[in-house]
Amino acid sequence: MTLQDLNTGAARYVDDLTSIDDYTVATLRELAERIGASKEIEHMIYRESELDEVWRLLDADVAAAARTGLVDAQLQRLLRLRELVIEAHDLVGNDADTVAACERLNQAIALI
């Protein structure tokens, strides 16, 4: 693989919208990497969409946890995760502040 191949791969890495199926450490790390590499407005839109999906998954788990009477500490952890994800979303979308958005995701990763 040449340096040009690596650069082309990196461009595709941020130029594509990635399907989000969960909010595991691996998923959030990969998303943080994509956010950190994003520079163009289109990239920010893709990252916002990916963060929307993480938020949706977390929101569903928060609702399920509240219905089933999950232990308060676990529910609070899910609520904090969801809060950090929406903060990252807003930082990407409103300010294109990829550094602060990655910091929020790293805080979320520490909670998992």
Convert the pLDDT of each residue in 10-47 to its tens digit: 455 899 999 999 999 999 999 999 999 999 999 999 99
- Kindly list the domain boundaries of the chain, sorted by start residue: 3-16+24-111
Residue 13: the pLDDT is 83
Q: Are 39 and 26 in contact (CB under 8 A)?
A: no
The more confidently predicted of residues 17 and 9 is 17
CATH number listed for the domain at residues 3-16+24-111: 1.20.120
Helix (H) / strand (E) containing 69: none
What is the model's pLDDT at position 4? Answer: 41
Mean pLDDT value across the chain: 90
pLDDT at position 5: 38
| Predicted pLDDT at 8 | 46
Tens of pLDDT, residues 60-91: 999 999 899 888 999 999 999 999 999 999 99
| Distances, alpha carbon 70 to alpha carbons 13, 22, 67, 91, 112, in Å | 37, 19, 8, 30, 16
Question: In whole angstroms, what is the distance from residue 74 CA to residue 71 CA?
Answer: 5
